Chain A
Amino acid sequence: MEIVGSRWKAPSNDVVSNLPLYRSAPLLEVRLEDFELFAMDRLRVLRGISDGLSRGKKPEEMQKLVNDLWKTNMRHTLSSEVINKDIISHFVLRLVYCRTEELRKWFLSMETTLFRNRFKLESSDAQRALMAEFDLPYKAVSTSEYESIKDKLGQVARSIGQSLPTADAIFYKVPFEEVPELVAGRRVFICKGYAYVAMNQVVSLVVTQFRSLLSKALILTNRKWTSTIREEKDRLAPIVETLCMSYLGPDYSQPKEFAEISIKDIDHVAKSSFPLCMRNLFEKLREDHHLKHGGRMQLGLFLKGVGLKLDDALAFWRAEFSQKVGAERFDKEYAYNIRHNYGKEGKRIDYTPYSCQKVISLTPGVGDHHGCPYRHFSEENLRAALGKMGLASRAVEDVMDKVRNRHYQLACTLTFEAVHGASCDTGINHPIQYFNDSQKVLQSKNNPSK
């Protein structure tokens, strides 16, 4: 076997970094249990990063957040195992997140942010060692070239509030395409297609490399996984398939924080406290007296989660569906499904309501109304839906802005805040949480004395 770490022959001073580049999978023996636990821990880090990004945290705040997340979740009782945990968890999640474009995109973005912030914490010697590790084809700018553009480099440094480069400062000359973030911020001098990147900016360069290597690796992993999935059907596949769906926040499968809702309140409650995704399904159901499977699952489990009892649920669905397909057909074809959701049929598993993560990752097709409206609605329809919820145009614009940047949960959080006139500091992570928080706000409004 080869431990990735053992290859780290630093070019000078034997500087060794603890930041792996994950170039090749380790040939370690891993206990199945660790396989899953390590991955869960890393996932907590990545989820935390995702949350931080969606809240628009500034670079310094992200740096702190990442550092804290890493320290909290990636410890190991054996210090020698820390690096293995890092590497193993990364490769497990690669397997988990290689399987669709959407998953790859998310994983790539979070791992890149993680890497960026860990790289910045390294000493400059270690950084240089890592650069060497990447085998970047870029050379430091020669003294004569440096002299010829010294003034411009100084101008750029001062324009971004940094001190003038010293005579022994190292600059790398790279194609501008390699450092898009530096170009976008006019943080580098660019001449004839080349950007002159200062030593303290190489993180951009390294991150671009990291990202592109990982991106390619994910595609390859996906191919390999598809070809080996059959062998792993009983061993790894179940773990891999549930990991990306598993929701690491509070468990909403059981708790009924608020007294159960009954059928007579349901219309009222839907209007006041359902998140847009559920409200939309609810209204469509009332309108069409029908929902396709995906919609029945998403809304049905949600209703269960907010406290609709099985008997009430059956009555509720029957009342709607019978208008379309007749009571008999409902009892024959649909009732089973509802009892199934409540764990009364089949495997008798009490199914968990969908989290935002799950709802966002759904892919509704023709005739489907489920999914996350912020992600799956056209801009026009979303605007109309938000207007119907009573959002002022200013609030709608704020929501649309988050949507454009694909921060769907943040868009939902903003909607919550606009509808309730109250802040939601934790952000919306689960439709049930939206419901609970909404009920809390409404109750405190009704009993202001409390």
Chain B
Amino acid sequence: MTKEEVEDGRDDMLIDGCEAEVPIQRLPPGFNANYLRVYYGKLFPYADIFKWMSYGNDGKHPACDKSYFGRREFSFTLDNDIYLRFQSFNNASELENAIREKCPFKIDIGPVYSVDPAKRHAYAQSGDNVFTPVERELVFDIDITDYDDVRYCCSGADVCLECWPLMTVAIKVIDSALRDDFGFNHILWAYSGRRGVHCWVCDRKARRLTNEQRGAIADYFRVYKGNENSHKKVSLTTVLHPFLVRSYTEVLRDFFETKLLSSQKIFSTEEKYEKILQLIPDESVTSDLRRKWQESKRSSSSKDDINVIRWEQLKQVLQSGRQKSQGLRRCVEEIVFSFTYPRLDMEVSKHMNHLLKAPFCVHPKTGHVCVPIDPNHCDEFDPTSVPTLSQLLEELNKGDMRDDADNELAETSLGKSIRFFRSSFLQPLLRSCKEELENSYNLKMQHSKNSMSW
């Protein structure tokens, strides 16, 4: 999207309010502040975000912590990169009013603090760290730019249907470990709007993890330890941990062999296959393969995919009985892990006070809405067809002007995402929150009853 388009877009701002004329022509694609104002006016799901971030504390139950939502940090990035941190709101309408009024290009969500973050200075005087984060979802941030050395279709912030499946693989691996290994249930995956995915683990237990425990989980997931000065970025032990075995056999191997090989054509040129040969620490094996592949370049007449053929050859050499060294046999897995295993931005996960962009924000560069992704059907997710700001406004314009905001929302292509968010994530989450509230309340009552009888 060019700058001109943004500026042109401003003239088409006729859609605010019911009396506006309905423009027939297509809205210019992309993003601008005026579109965003309409989005925040009519589509952004404030009530859902509030419900979510309240974790049941907005109810009437005596165990509810009324101050809970008000201690959550929100931060806004305004036009011109003005950055407002430590915003806090006492209820859904305060949140809504502030967002409508300030029209932030980006909304980040931070932790729940011990005290209202907007009033943190009042507590700063008393020393002894009264202002400190007390709860925070366990979050993960995976960014396709971190895969630039293993994708040949795009680089940097660009992403296409050829490389996006790397993200899908990451979702599958991490999601299943979060559920099966760590026992978490309330997990939200969201498209980051341009080049990656975010994950929010919202179980009560997850929200209360210490930084050390968060770090431990992040490290549990860390296999890729690369830097620009080393070629070998994945180093596996001779026997793999069950989590890695499962990731390999259930997700990575299949993806590597059936998709990545041919989509990224990782053996197709000398430059590309040399990168793979560098991962093999045995001269005789690599020179053997190199010779074979240099010859086959001239004589390749077969209809089969050359990438598949070469991979099979590589596997055969490495896994044949001749290779006594366990380390060399491990090489096949190491190559697969190098190319496919999720690469997490560790720092985001390790600290409670790291901010993460809220779902349903609009990415200011692409105009894409940060919609939830269903981990059970993440193969079907297509980042290029995610609703954009201009598309949504067009849909609004086409639709009848109704008073019922919810209905209006439902009829846009964002409706599906919101429905998924509610039914698959929010409702089960709130059910557990309610149970937990009741349990903790009963426990407390029990406790006080016991101490009364003494």
Residues of A within 8 A of B (CB): 101, 152, 155-156, 158-161, 176-177, 180-181, 183-186, 189-194
The verdict on A193 contacting B241 (CB below 8 Å), with A183-B217, A183-B219 known, is: no
Contact mask for chain B residues 422-449; partner A; CB cutoff 8 A; 1 contact, 0 none: 0000000000000000000000000000
What are 21 inter-chain pairs, A to B, with CB distance below 8 A? A152-B242, A155-B239, A155-B241, A156-B241, A158-B238, A158-B239, A159-B237, A159-B241, A176-B216, A177-B205, A177-B213, A180-B212, A180-B215, A184-B220, A186-B241, A186-B243, A189-B242, A192-B180, A193-B182, A193-B184, A194-B183
Chain A residues with Cβ below 8 Å from B242 are 152, 155-156, 189
> What are the 10 tightest A-B residue pairs by CB atom distance, in nearest-first order?
A193-B183, A180-B216, A184-B219, A158-B239, A184-B216, A192-B183, A183-B216, A186-B241, A190-B181, A159-B239
* A290, B215: Cα distance in complex, Å: 44
Contact A190 B182 (CB under 8 A): yes
Known: A156-B242, A180-B215. 13 other contacts (CB 8 A): A155-B240, A155-B242, A155-B245, A156-B241, A158-B239, A177-B210, A183-B216, A185-B219, A186-B241, A189-B242, A190-B182, A191-B181, A191-B183
Residue of A nearest to B209 (CB): A177
* A217, B204: Cα distance in complex, Å: 26
Q: What range describes how many residues of B lie at the interface?
A: 20 to 34
Residue of B nearest to A192 (CB): B183
Contact A160 B180 (CB under 8 A): no
Nearest CB on A from B112, distance (A): 18
* A181, B219: Cα distance in complex, Å: 9
Contact B215 A161 (CB under 8 A): no
Chain A residues with Cβ below 8 Å from B19 are none
* A159, B248: Cα distance in complex, Å: 15
* A194, B205: Cα distance in complex, Å: 13
* A192, B242: Cα distance in complex, Å: 14
Nearest CB on A from B151, distance (A): 27
| B299 on the A face (CB < 8 A) | no
Chain B residues with Cβ below 8 Å from A189 are 242
Nearest CB on A from B180, distance (A): 7
* A39, B38: Cα distance in complex, Å: 67
Nearest CB on A from B250, distance (A): 15
Quick one: which of B209, B210, B216, B245 has the most chain A CB within 10 A? B216
Residue of A nearest to B208 (CB): A177
Chain A residues with Cβ below 8 Å from B181 are 190-192
Chain B residues with Cβ below 8 Å from A101 are 128-129
* A180, B210: Cα distance in complex, Å: 10
Chain A residues with Cβ below 8 Å from B220 are 183-184, 186, 190
Nearest CB on A from B247, distance (A): 12
Chain B residues with Cβ below 8 Å from A155 are 239-242, 245
* A190, B244: Cα distance in complex, Å: 12
Chain B residues with Cβ below 8 Å from A184 are 215-216, 219-220
Residue of A nearest to B184 (CB): A193
* A194, B180: Cα distance in complex, Å: 10
Q: Which of B209, B210, B237 contacts A160 (CB 8 A)?
A: B237
**Contacts of B212-238 to chain A: CB distance below 8 A:** 212-213, 215-217, 219-220, 237-238
Chain B residues with Cβ below 8 Å from A158 are 238-239
Nearest CB on B from A110, distance (A): 17
Nearest CB on A from B432, distance (A): 14
Residue of A nearest to B236 (CB): A159
* A367, B289: Cα distance in complex, Å: 66
* A184, B243: Cα distance in complex, Å: 13
Chain A residues with Cβ below 8 Å from B183 are 191-194
* A160, B237: Cα distance in complex, Å: 8
Residue of A nearest to B222 (CB): A184
Chain A residues with Cβ below 8 Å from B240 are 155, 159
* A193, B209: Cα distance in complex, Å: 13
Nearest CB on A from B199, distance (A): 17
Nearest CB on A from B249, distance (A): 13
Chain A residues with Cβ below 8 Å from B241 are 155-156, 159, 186
Residue of A nearest to B182 (CB): A193
